[in-house]
Amino acid sequence: MATAISSAIACFVMGIVANAPLGLAPGMGSNSFFTFIVVKLYGYSYQEALAMVFVSGTLFLILSATGIRDKIINSIPENLKQSIGAGTGFFIALIGLVKAGIAVAHPATLITLGNFKNPTVLLAVFGLLLTIILMSRKIDAAVFFGLLITAIVGIILGRFGVEGMPKFSNEIIKVNTSLNHFGDFFYGLKSLIAKPKSIFLIFTFFFVDFFDTAGTLVAITNKIRSKTGKNYQMKKMLFSDAVGTVVGAVLGTSTVTTLTESTSGVAAGGRTGLTAITTGIWFLVASIFTPLVAIASPIEVGGMFFEPVIAPSLICVGILMATQLSSIDWHDFTAASAGFVTIMIMIVGYSIPDGIAAGFIVYVFSKLFTKNIKDITPSVWAMFVLFVLHFALK
């Protein structure tokens, strides 16, 4: 319930304050770092981890309100912005391919094609081809209809005994209004004072959220601007994102961030804050219709988890965003190398922030040793230092 409420509040703020078509919720990367690194690996309590998120979010809020965060993002070189957008597209598509079971891990080649005899994978392939056809024919809300039809086909096949299909529960509504971890961050704040090493983890939360959000905002707004010419106020979007993080920590969730899945709403035609507000409303609705929403939940087959309903939309959105490759100046090798590294590290490192960091480092070194040091602004120098520290502390 805390996740639904914090996500809804963040979406409402984004829609009303920034008038941008972006959805917000706790990010999976932040959730993993929160649970498996901070709590399980380093042994901090969940209250202390929430306190770290709160401190990180408060710092974000201050930087966003003063416009510093906005200036940092606007100082990103244009070629790197396009690289971040394209790289995010490939990253989203890779997530979709993995969720579909089309791409799976392999001990020798790291990654390989999945089992196309698996009915769950075949359902995802059907959904992908269907969504591509709908988008190619420029059908309104093609991504949504592709998702809906795939879910319906899967449910029907499941009724006929096909294994690994989405299931429709007979129980549609399940109300859960508990907020068990509301305010728990406060207890964590007290104990963090006696643990100065926690500052490095706070910095990591800060870094990941900052550049995860920056990458998403740059990628999505660039895509909309290239198609419609519409501009958004970065300062207001960043402020809305920061509010979400603070609210999430207070209610008891990990970092609330702008979702890369927002591209699905943009692909369906979303251009204003009404999209964000609608997303927020659906978060609240989903909190009581959890059995119905479970249709799109991961399906376990042979110890592996697939999401055949969601995966096709992610892959198609990735295709849309990857078109920003054409805007990179490939004739300028300093721009091309930084852009290429940004994209590749995002994919092989499975991390948007790491890709941005690597791209910046290559950009600065290439400019520095080709006597183009004047192209490196003070903001870029500052981020270069932060990115080097980021990799040094990983």
* pLDDT recorded at residue 209: 77
Mean pLDDT along residues 205-233: 78
* pLDDT recorded at residue 288: 72
* pLDDT recorded at residue 345: 94
How many angstroms separate the CA atoms of 52 and 185, rounded? 8
| Mean pLDDT (the chain, rounded) | 84
b/e burial code for range 177-208 (CB count within 10 A of at least 16 → b): eeeebeebbeebeeebeeeeebeebbbbbbbb
Residue 392's pLDDT band (boundaries 50, 70, 90)? Answer: confident
Residue 178's pLDDT band (boundaries 50, 70, 90)? Answer: low
Residue-wise pLDDT tens digits, 371-387: 888 888 888 898 898 88
* pLDDT recorded at residue 255: 84
Please compute Rg for the chain using Cα positions: 21
Residue 176's pLDDT band (boundaries 50, 70, 90)? Answer: low
Residue-wise pLDDT tens digits, 216-228: 888 888 878 877 7
Phi, psi angle pair for 300, to nearest 5°? -90, 125
* pLDDT recorded at residue 356: 85
* pLDDT recorded at residue 141: 74
Strands 24-26 and 256-258: antiparallel
Ranking 115-124, 140-149, 276-285 by mean pLDDT, the lowest is 140-149
Residue-wise pLDDT tens digits, 261-281: 787 788 778 889 999 999 999
pLDDT over 80 (residue 29): no
Which residue has better confidence, 114 or 372?
114
Mean pLDDT along residues 359-377: 89
Q: How many residues does the chain have?
A: 394
How many angstroms separate the CA atoms of 306 and 127, rounded? 13
Residue-wise pLDDT tens digits, 95-110: 899 999 999 988 888 8
Compute, in degrees rounded to 10, the torsion defined by CA atoms 224, 228, 230, 231.
Answer: 50
Mean pLDDT along residues 135-153: 87
Residue in 222, 184, 263 with CA at minimum distance from that of residue 79? 222
* pLDDT recorded at residue 16: 96
Residue 343's pLDDT band (boundaries 50, 70, 90)? Answer: very high
* pLDDT recorded at residue 290: 62
Which amino acid type is present at position 293?
Answer: V
How many angstroms separate the CA atoms of 92 and 195, rounded? 37
> What are the distances in angstroms from CA 323 to CA 201, 264, 316?
36, 15, 12
Is the full-model pTM beyond 0.85?
no
Residue 36's pLDDT band (boundaries 50, 70, 90)? Answer: low
Residue in 295, 389, 356 with CA at minimum distance from that of residue 91? 356
pLDDT over 60 (residue 133): yes
Contact 146/130 with Cβ under 8 angstroms? Answer: yes
Contact 264/143 with Cβ under 8 angstroms? Answer: yes
* pLDDT recorded at residue 113: 94
Q: What SS3 class is residue 344? A: helix
Residue in 263, 252, 181, 180 with CA at minimum distance from that of residue 227? 263
Tokens representing 85 are 């957008």
Greatest mean pLDDT among 192-201, 266-275, 291-300, 354-363 lies in 354-363
pLDDT over 80 (residue 181): no
Q: Where are the alpha helices (DSSP H) in the chain?
A: 2-13, 28-32, 46-66, 68-74, 78-100, 119-136, 142-159, 185-192, 198-228, 234-251, 262-267, 273-288, 290-293, 311-322, 333-348, 352-368, 378-393
Mean pLDDT along residues 332-342: 92
pLDDT over 80 (residue 203): no
Cα 211–Cα 213–Cα 216 angle in degrees, nearest 5: 105
Residue 39's pLDDT band (boundaries 50, 70, 90)? Answer: confident
* pLDDT recorded at residue 15: 95
Please give the DSSP secondary-structure letter assigned to residue 122.
H
